[in-house]
Structure formats: structure tokens, C-alpha cells
Amino acid sequence: MRPSRFATQLLLIAIAAIIVSVVWQSIPLIQAELLGQRAEPREVMARGDLAADERATIELFEARKNSVVYISTSERVIDPWTRSIHDMPRGTGSGFLWDQLGHVITNRHVVAGASGAYIRLADGRVFRAQLVGVDAAHDLAVLRISVPTGRPDPLPIGSSSDLAVGQKVFAIGNPFGLDWTLTTGIVSALERELPSETGTIRGLIQTDAAINPGNSGGPLLDSAGRLIGVNTAIFSPSGAYAGIGFAVPVDAVNRVVPQLIRKGHYAPPTLGLVTDARADQFARRLGIDGVLILRVLPDTPAAKAGLQAAEIDPDGGLDPGDVIIGLDGDRIATTEAFRAALDLHQAGDAVTLNIRRDGKLIDFEMVLEPGS
């Protein structure tokens, strides 16, 4: 039986469609084959000058990167089978040169629990570090290395008291072990608080400059390349950058570090009062609003001013004595807040202690003494 004319036409159309499809798909291949011998790199378009802010950022990084160091720590372990002792890698972090004597600043948590630390400079040289001092309240640590020649310059010091939200900042560090990484951002907020393993770190700078694990201990710089903070932590459920990082302000660093170098620990200035955070809840249960003075140390500003400590009366009740309710007119409700307020001052500063005594408000002007 002969195929119908319609079927023949349909078959011819299908064959034509297949031929057109094959040819259409082959055109790029044919073109590539024909033009392959003429393929060359494309012409580079002239860029023009870098923008002023780009040049400033590049110059800042080049000027400051050599002052930033890479820190790796080790932990001494005992093999339970052979009883042999050996060092195992523990963690990494960042730091920076503080002075020409080889002192390096980093976070306390970078070196906490480590049996040894090694510092690598930007030129690749590695030195074993000696621990000089730590301060848990500010999460700061000072290490020292001996660099015989070619010692990098220390970072210039800025101030944090005049920082403003929106100000540009720059962080240099070693996130995830990626050496000497620069990230930029702004000051997002000031006077932040962050819980730590040893308490609450107060007065922190909040920034949106990317800070990740390994950035800890590295510098936060302003647009003039001055140190304004020490990157200390991130806020992130995943442990990676989420737009919120924190830095210890340089004003606190400049108070704490000299004492760590001199004494190995930091002691804030004192009035000679003994207080204890454990007494705060006890005071609240008794309806006392403020900080109890547990003891007045002899021959101190508080003793000379005649401050009175809390006592147990003969009936077993509490005579609260003088209750601290403020410092320089700023409200004080807890022992931790009182210590944080003192930490903002230096020995030799005159302060006004606001006291409640027998229901009356009394101000005592005193001069802070160095802590022991």
C-alpha cells in the first residue's frame, strides 16, 4: 500500500527539521573551528587612577601589616600508652607589636591553657614567645619575643574616647589561618558588654568589619592607621562572621598593658574598699539598694575619709554602714558596676563617691591610689 501524500509531506518536514537543528547547533563549532587560528587575548581596557579612598586603604595596609603577627599555640600532652610528653598544636590567633622591646599584645583567650606560643612576623621569621602577663577582665595578654635585627615598628596608638558610630575602621589579622587579611567596616556601636568565661567585658567597641576565628588579638585601626581597639570576639551562632564583632577599646588597653609589663597582672586604682559581688544578692533580699562595703582598709583614701563598713549587730542583724550608690554622680547598683567604674580611672584621679548613710545621701571626694 502506497503511503499517503500527507504522510510523505510529514516525513519530509520532520527530516528537514532535524537537518536544520543539527546545522544550527553546529554553527558555533564551525565558527570556532574556522576562527580558532585568529583567537587572541582581549585588549585590556585602561582603568584610570584608583579612587582616593582605595589608595588610602592600600597605603594603610602596607604601612601597618608588618606590625601585625601570627600566633600559634601548643599544648603539652602525655601519651597514655608510652607516657612520653610532647607538644600538640592547640590554636591560632593574631597580635601586634606594642613597643620596640618586643612586647606583643593579643587576647588572653588566644594563649589561655597553652604550654607554648610561637609568633611569626610578616617576613616569615618565627620566634618562641614568653608570656609576660594576662588580664582576664579585659581579655588581654602580653607576650615577648627577642628579635635581634629587623624588628617591626609598633603600631601608633590612638584613642577610643572620641570614637563615633559610623566612623570607618580596619581590622588586620589571620582569620582561619589566612595570613594578614584586611577587612573594613564602621563603628556600629559603643559601650557594649559581652559575657566571657571569667565575667563580663565592658565598654567594648562593636564593629561590622569582618572578624572571624583567628582574628582574635589583632588590631582594629582608624582611618589614620592608629590602634583604637583589640579585636576580641564575634557574636555568631555558627562561630563565623555574622556582621557583629567586638574590640577592647584602646584607652583600656593603654591602662592595662603597662601594668601587665611591669607586674604581670592588672590592678585597677583603689579607694581602699573591700566589696564582693556575692554580697549583692544578700543586700537585695534585705531591701538595700547599692553596694555593701565589707571592709575599709587602713591608711587608704576611704579610711581617711571615715567611711564605715557593714557590721553584724549584737542581735545578729546587719548594720549596712555606708552603702555605695554612685561614683561621680553615675548610678552604681552592683559590685561589678562599681569595679568597672573605677577601672575607667587612673591612680591620682579625683573622684566623688556617692554614699547612703542612715538614709542620708553624702558625697566623699577622694583621690584614687594605685592598686596592688
Amino acid making up residue 200: T
Rounded Cα distance between 56 and 50, Å, is 10
Candidate list 72, 94, 109, 188, residue with the active-site label: 109
- Whether 109 is catalytic is yes
Encode burial over 107-124: b for 16+ CB neighbours within 10 A, e otherwise.
bbbbbbebebbbbbbeee
What's the maximum distance between 2 C-alpha atoms anywhere in the chain? 128
With cell 558625697, the residue in question is 363
With cell 546587719, the residue in question is 318
Length of the chain measured in residues: 372
Question: Cell for 108?
Answer: 588572653
Question: Cell for 242?
Answer: 555574622
Residue 164's CB: how many other CB atoms inside 10 A?
8
Distance of CA 219 to the CA centre of its chain: 8
Candidate list 139, 222, 280, 322, residue with the active-site label: 139
What are the start-end ranges of the H helices in the chain? 5-35, 52-64, 108-111, 250-263, 278-285, 301-305, 335-343
Question: Cell for 180?
Answer: 594578614
Candidate list 72, 188, 216, 343, residue with the active-site label: 216
Q: Integer distance in angstroms from the first to the last C-alpha of the chain? A: 116
Cβ-Cβ contacts under 8 Å for 312 (sequence gap 6 or more): 318, 319
- Closest residue by Cα to residue 336 from 348, 328, 324: 324
Three-state SS at 56: helix
Rounded Cα distance between 99 and 117, Å, is 19
Phi and psi dihedrals of 34, rounded to 5?
Answer: -70, -35
With cell 617591626, the residue in question is 152
Catalytically active residues are 109, 139, 216
